[in-house]
Amino acid sequence: MGKLENKIAVITGSGRGIGRATAELFVKEGCIVIAVSRTEKELKELEEKTKNKEGKIFPFKADITMKEDVDKIFDFVENEFKKLDILINNAGVAPSGSIFDMDSEKFLYCLKLNIWSAFLCTQRAVRIMAKQNKGKIINVGSVCSHWTGTGNAGAYAASKYGLKGFTEAVMREMQNRNLNISVGMVCPGLVDTTLTNPEREIKGNWLQPETIAQALIFAVTNPEDVNVYDMIIFPNWQKVW
Ligand SMILES: NC(=O)c1ccc[n+]([C@@H]2O[C@H](COP(=O)([O-])OP(=O)(O)OC[C@H]3O[C@@H](n4cnc5c(N)ncnc54)[C@H](OP(=O)(O)O)[C@@H]3O)[C@@H](O)[C@H]2O)c1
């Protein structure tokens, strides 16, 4: 029996990269995954690839910077499954640029996707999870949730530090309300994905998305009353601060 048999999970940004590897691993462990991204073709490929596994992919094309799209995802979950066990807030962008000439719209969009969309998904998720009095929410942060890296990615660091603050606040609120809902983060260093390596050059010593997927499965398969709060994962060579 898989570790996630009969579990329902929403994973944002699961068309490629970390979200995709996580969706594949979750399905292998018996999970029903609502796989969210904007590129239908990638979601279809994921669905096809995981066809004969224990669990199942429900591809869900949505732009999570649009509140109405987020509502459609969680309306679907409520109507179809009547419960939600896991939310992985993974979709994100990582614009870099100096403070002297950073495009202000890019900065704003980074905050919008990396924090506000996580808020929208979390709000809908906790409303479902509170009724069940259980659930696991993991936000994919970054080493930049803890350190600002080389200094040329202010938008990204601001968004990922912000996501850390949001994670802590929601975790505390669940405790204050005596709700058995775990809220935490997984914070990767350099992972070889199209986000960081769009040209798909060989990056032998970077983390693989599957390593982060393993961390995510660990975070959500602990007992219901255990909170895995923050896992920071980077390759030994990466000087993160
Ligand atoms: N790669 C790294 O080195 C690294 C390190 C630390 C943290 N992270 C974090 O890990 C997360 C995933 O990164 P990744 O490297 O796997 O990125 P990626 O390869 O670029 O994948 C991002 C995924 O998010 C989806 N997405 C983007 N905008 C979206 C939107 N508005 N609505 C719905 N889905 C959207 C993308 O699909 P569509 O474009 O088709 O929508 C894609 O499936 C991000 O939060 C990132 O900050 C990555």
How much is the average pLDDT of 227-233? Answer: 98
Does residue 156 have an active-site annotation? yes
pLDDT band at 149 (very low <50, low <70, confident <90, very high): confident
Per-position DSSP letters for 13-53, written without gaps between them: T-SSHHHHHHHHHHHHTT-EEEEEES-HHHHHHHHHHTTTS
pLDDT tens string 64-92: 999 999 999 999 999 999 999 999 999 99
pLDDT band at 226 (very low <50, low <70, confident <90, very high): very high
Q: Is the dihedral of CA 152, 90, 175, 70 positive or negative?
A: positive
Residue with CA closest to ligand 1 atom 34: 37
Cα-to-centroid distance, 4 and ligand 1 (Å)? 23
Instruction: Calculate the alpha carbon distances from 15 to 59, 205, 219 in Å.
Output: 9, 23, 21
Number of structural domains in the chain: 1
CA distance 186 to 230: 6
How much is the average pLDDT of 191-215? Answer: 96
Residue 1 belongs to a domain:
no
Instruction: Calculate the alpha carbon distances from 177 to 53, 117, 131, 170 in Å.
Output: 38, 23, 12, 11
CB of 93 closer than 8 Å to CB of 109? yes
Cα-to-centroid distance, 24 and ligand 1 (Å)? 15
- The number of beta carbons lying within 10 Å of the beta carbon of residue 104 is 8
Residue 239 belongs to a domain:
no
In 166-216, beta strands by DSSP E: 181-188
| 199-207 long-range Cβ contacts below 8 angstroms, 24+ apart | 205/235, 205/237, 206/235, 207/233, 207/234, 207/235
Q: Out of 11, 34, 36, 38, give the residue to mutate to test ligand 1, the one with the largest number of ligand atoms within 8 Å of its CB.
A: 38
How much is the average pLDDT of 31-49? Answer: 98
**Site of tokens 């980074």:** 110
Residue 73 belongs to a domain:
yes
Residue with CA closest to ligand 1 atom 37: 37
Q: In this predicted structure, what is the pLDDT of residue 241?
A: 78
Residue 240 belongs to a domain:
no
Find the CATH number of the domain harbouring 210. 3.40.50.720
Residue with CA closest to ligand 1 atom 41: 38
Residue 103 belongs to a domain:
yes
Residue 188 belongs to a domain:
yes
* Domain around 178: 8-233
Q: Which atom of ligand 1 is nearest to the CA of 197?
A: 1
pLDDT band at 51 (very low <50, low <70, confident <90, very high): very high
| CA angle 25–92–201, rounded 5-degree value | 75
Q: Residue 119: in which H helix or E strand, if any?
A: helix 117-132
Instruction: Calculate the alpha carbon distances from 204 to 194, 197, 213 in Å.
Output: 15, 12, 18
Contact residues of ligand 1, CB 6 A cut-off? 12-13, 15-19, 36-39, 42, 62-65, 90-92, 94, 113, 140, 142, 188, 190-191, 193-196
Residue 241 belongs to a domain:
no
Tokens read off for 78: 């409520």
Tokens read off for 91: 């979709």
Residue 2 belongs to a domain:
no
Cα-to-centroid distance, 94 and ligand 1 (Å)? 8
Cα-to-centroid distance, 43 and ligand 1 (Å)? 14
